[in-house]
């Protein structure tokens, strides 16, 4: 959630953020009005409660007819207190409702606009000239079938559209990618985690997903649990309602999990192959840190993603995602997109988001404040503040697409990127079967 106090202090900043997203800027005024109403309702309730307590003392001291008269007044006052309490609770609930509707405040410098208004930060590598090599590139599905690695037909038979079987060398390739990413994560202080893939609604909501209206989420109604589309969700909820120590160093987790997405808005898009499927595996970095170090940590996450892309030897570009294409929780997001030869374009392989304090405020994750000189705990006992959270992807099933297409040979075999060979028992080529 956004910081309501900060919004009230600097409403124009939040209005500009909404405009950059192409979202409703009037929501700022609604939050301000709701906060005014909440304060007034609380004040009214507290005044009546104080009056009620004072009346209680008078009744205790009164006798006879005076006491009876006061008791009648107390009865009316009690009803007013009850009404005022209900009004106060309603005002609190309305402010919370509006807070939950408000997306994160975008970071200064994020491009304005929608999906097509991203800014290219860099391009790395040069796409292969297959014509100069004398052959037409095959797409990843044809290659996957030739090497006995992808079976979409039986995936559909067993589970329906957008499901597949990865087998043989493709299954080994996915595991190799994930293990290589995990090794990189561990080298950089990440704790490996295999998290639950089913979470409670409060965890899903706390991460920034709208469980009531998000058609991408699978729900198990009987148990009121949700299948996650990323291990970010479980890892964000891991420290919910806790006070953690990030003063000296970030807390970094690398979550390895299966992920599920309904792809409700993708009818007719990427129906061939494994680019857009309902089930896939992913290695996700998740970080808790201080507000001051969040942008610095964001740069690190992007650098680690680029290290992984360099290891699989595919041309890629980094884009700064426009405000209107950011998710609810992200204040800034960088995507790494790999070149897909048969599509003649770049497709997203990784993304990394700085969610600032948005998720942690929803999930009540805080840190102890320190003195200005950096020593000890805050002079005010129990002083805490909200931490920042970030996430980024190190490997997913979709990477197989870029590897197969960029490293294919004229006969349909695929050369294994050198960095992956130790994870595949020294295998240098995926041969035809």
Catalytically active residues are 261, 276, 348, 351, 398
Distances (CA, A) of 32 to 74, 105, 149: 35, 16, 56
d(CA 56, CA 48) in angstroms, rounded, equals 12
Q: Which of 68, 101, 134 is the last residue of a domain?
A: 101
d(CA 102, CA 30) in angstroms, rounded, equals 10
114 found inside a domain? no
Q: Are 225 and 175 in contact (CB under 8 A)?
A: no
CATH code at position 266: 3.30.930.10
Mean pLDDT of the chain, nearest integer: 93
Burial class (CB in 10 A: 0-12, 13-18, 19+), 291: middle
Q: What is the pLDDT of residue 303?
A: 98
What is the separation, in whole angstroms, between the first and last Cα of the chain? 53
What is the mean predicted confidence (pLDDT) over 329-342? 98
DSSP string for residues in 51-77: HHHHHHHHHHH--HHHHHHHHHHHHHH
CA 57 to mean position of chain CA atoms: 54
Q: What is the pLDDT of residue 75?
A: 76
pLDDT band at 212; cut points 50, 70, 90? confident
Q: What is the pLDDT of residue 378?
A: 43
Distances (CA, A) of 226 to 57, 96, 177, 208, 283: 53, 23, 27, 14, 19
Lookup: tokens for 38: 């909440």
pLDDT tens digits along 118-131: 999 999 999 999 99
Q: What is the pLDDT of residue 279?
A: 97
The verdict on 97 and 148 lying in the same domain is no
Q: What is the pLDDT of residue 70?
A: 65
CATH code at position 36: 1.10.287.40
pLDDT at 92 over 90: yes
Number of folded domains that form the chain: 2
The verdict on 140 and 86 lying in the same domain is no
Angle between helices 26-61 and 64-101 (to 10 degrees): 160
Q: What is the pLDDT of residue 374?
A: 53
- Please list, in sequence order, all residues whose beta carbon lies within 8 angstroms of the beta carbon of residue 82, skipping any fewer than 6 positions away: none
The verdict on 191 and 263 lying in the same domain is yes
d(CA 89, CA 316) in angstroms, rounded, equals 52
49 found inside a domain? yes
What is the mean predicted confidence (pLDDT) over 180-207? 97
d(CA 396, CA 261) in angstroms, rounded, equals 14
Q: Which of 52, 74, 101 is the last residue of a domain?
A: 101
151 found inside a domain? yes
What is the mean predicted confidence (pLDDT) over 422-428? 98
pLDDT band at 66; cut points 50, 70, 90? low
Q: What is the pTM of this model?
A: 0.91
41 found inside a domain? yes
pLDDT at 423 over 90: yes
Backbone phi and psi for residue 112, each to the nearest 5 degrees, phi listed first? -80, 160
pLDDT at 266 over 50: yes
The verdict on 201 and 149 lying in the same domain is yes
d(CA 79, CA 203) in angstroms, rounded, equals 37
The verdict on 206 and 306 lying in the same domain is yes
pLDDT tens digits along 378-400: 444 558 999 999 999 999 999 99
Question: Which range of residues forms the domain containing residue 374?
Answer: 119-430
111 found inside a domain? no
């Amino acid at each position: 959630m956004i910081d309501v106090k900060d919004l009230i202090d600097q409403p124009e900043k939040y209005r500009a953020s909404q405009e950059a997203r192409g979202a409703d800027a009037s929501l700022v005024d609604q939050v301000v009005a709701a906060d005014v109403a909440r304060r007034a309702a609380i004040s009214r309730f507290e005044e009546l409660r104080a009056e009620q307590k004072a009346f209680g003392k008078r009744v205790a001291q009164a006798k006879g007819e005076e006491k009876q008269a006061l008791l009648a007044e107390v009865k009316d006052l009690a009803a007013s207190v009850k009404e005022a309490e209900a009004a106060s609770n309603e005002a609190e609930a309305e402010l919370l409702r509006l807070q939950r509707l408000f997306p994160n405040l975008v970071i200064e410098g994020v491009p304005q606009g929608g999906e097509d208004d991203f800014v290219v930060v860099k391009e790395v590598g040069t796409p292969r000239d297959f014509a100069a090599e004398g052959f037409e590139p095959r797409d990843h599905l044809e290659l996957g079938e030739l090497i006995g690695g992808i079976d979409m037909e039986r995936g559909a038979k067993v589970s329906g559209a957008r499901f597949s079987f990865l087998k043989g060398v493709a299954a080994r390739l996915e595991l190799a990618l994930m293990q290589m990413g995990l090794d990189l994560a561990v080298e950089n202080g990440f704790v490996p985690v295999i998290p639950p893939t089913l979470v409670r609604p409060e965890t899903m909501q706390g991460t920034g997903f709208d469980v009531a209206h998000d058609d991408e989420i699978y729900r198990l109604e009987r148990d009121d649990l949700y299948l996650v589309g990323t291990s970010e969700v479980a890892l964000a909820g891991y420290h919910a309602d806790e006070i953690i120590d990030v003063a000296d160093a970030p807390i970094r987790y690398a979550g390895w999990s299966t992920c599920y997405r309904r792809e409700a808005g993708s009818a007719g898009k990427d129906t061939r192959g494994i680019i857009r499927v309902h089930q896939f595996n992913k290695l996700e970095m998740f970080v808790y840190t201080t507000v001051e170090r969040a942008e610095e940590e964001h740069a690190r996450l992007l650098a680690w993603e680029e290290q992984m892309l360099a290891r699989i030897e595919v041309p890629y570009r980094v884009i700064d995602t426009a405000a209107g294409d950011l998710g609810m929780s992200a204040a800034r997001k960088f995507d790494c997109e790999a070149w897909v030869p048969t599509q003649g374009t770049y497709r997203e392989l990784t993304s990394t988001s700085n969610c600032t304090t948005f998720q942690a405020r929803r999930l009540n994750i805080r840190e102890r404040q320190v003195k200005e000189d950096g020593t000890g705990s805050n002079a005010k006992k129990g002083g805490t503040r909200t931490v920042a959270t970030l996430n980024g992807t190190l490997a997913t099933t979709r990477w197989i697409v870029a590897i197969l297409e960029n490293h294919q040979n004229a006969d349909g075999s695929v050369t294994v990127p050198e960095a992956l060979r130790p994870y595949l028992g020294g295998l240098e080529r995926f041969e035809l079967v």
